Amino acid sequence: MSRSLDEILESCRDCRNCELGNTRTNLVFGTGNPQADLMFVGEAPGEQEDLTGVPFVGRAGQLLDRYLYAVGIDRESVYIANILKCRPPKNRDPLPEEEDACIGILREQVKAIQPKIIVCLGRISAMRLIKPDFKITAEHGKWFRKGDFWMTAVYHPAALLRDPRKKEDMLEDMKAIRKKLSEGQEPSVV
C-alpha cells in the first residue's frame, strides 16, 4: 500500500538520514499537482529553495517557469521535486550517500503521484534515475522506458543560465515533452 504525499511529507519533516538534515533551513519536499501526468525531478534545492521550502523558485526555477509557459504547460499542473530534500552546502553537487538517503522518498513520491512522464532536470538527476553513464549533452531529449514511466532529461535550468547557447535545445526538448504529454504518442525508445 503506497502512502499519500501528505504521509510521506510528515515522515520527512524530522529526517536526519544524512548531515544535510542538520544544516537545512527548510525541507524542500516537492510542489504541484499530486495527480500530475508530468513530473520534473532536479538534483537538490538551492539557496532560495532552502529559504522558501519550495523547489525551483530561484533564478533557475524562474527560467523553468518561462519554458513551461512557452510550451503551454501550467506549472500548477505538474509536480516538481528533487532527489535531495535538503540543500547541500554552497549548492555543491549531492554526494552519493546523500542521494542514497533520499532516493526512497523520491520513489514514494513517484508511487503516490503515478505520473506518465518523468523529466530529469540535468545530468545528476538523469544519472541517478535513467542510467549511471547518462551524457546530458548527447542524450538530452531522448526517451527511455523505465517501468511504468516514460523518462527523458533536459538541461538543468541553472546550466542554461551559465551557457545560454543551450537554450534553443531546451526549448525543442520542452516542445517534445508537451507533444508527448498532449498526444500520448509513443516516442522512440533508446
Run means of pLDDT, 10 residues per run, the chain, 190 residues: 90 91 95 97 97 97 98 97 96 94 96 97 97 98 94 97 97 97 59
Looking at the domain assignment, is residue 185 inside a domain? no
pLDDT at position 151: 98
CA angle at residue 13 from 148 to 121, to 5 degrees?
40
Looking at the domain assignment, is residue 188 inside a domain? no
Query: Nearest CA to 178 among 154, 144, 156, 145?
Result: 154
Q: Which residue range is the domain that position 74 belongs to?
A: 5-180
pLDDT at position 48: 96
Task: Kindly state the cell numbers that stand for 12.
Answer: 520527512
Displacement of CA 128 from its chain's centroid (Å):
11
Q: What is the CATH number of the domain that holds 169?
A: 3.40.470.10
CA angle at residue 165 from 159 to 166, to 5 degrees?
50
With 0-12 / 13-18 / 19 or more C-beta atoms within 10 angstroms meaning exposed / middle / buried, residue 34 is middle
pLDDT at position 184: 62
Q: What is the DSSP string of 144-155?
A: EEETTEEEEEE-
- The pLDDT tens digits for 81-106 are 999 999 999 989 999 999 999 999 99
Looking at the domain assignment, is residue 187 inside a domain? no
Looking at the domain assignment, is residue 49 inside a domain? yes
Looking at the domain assignment, is residue 102 inside a domain? yes
What is the rounded end-to-end Cα distance, in angstroms, of the chain?
A: 32
- C-alpha–C-alpha distance, residues 156 and 141, integer Å: 12
Number of domains in the chain: 1
Looking at the domain assignment, is residue 190 inside a domain? no
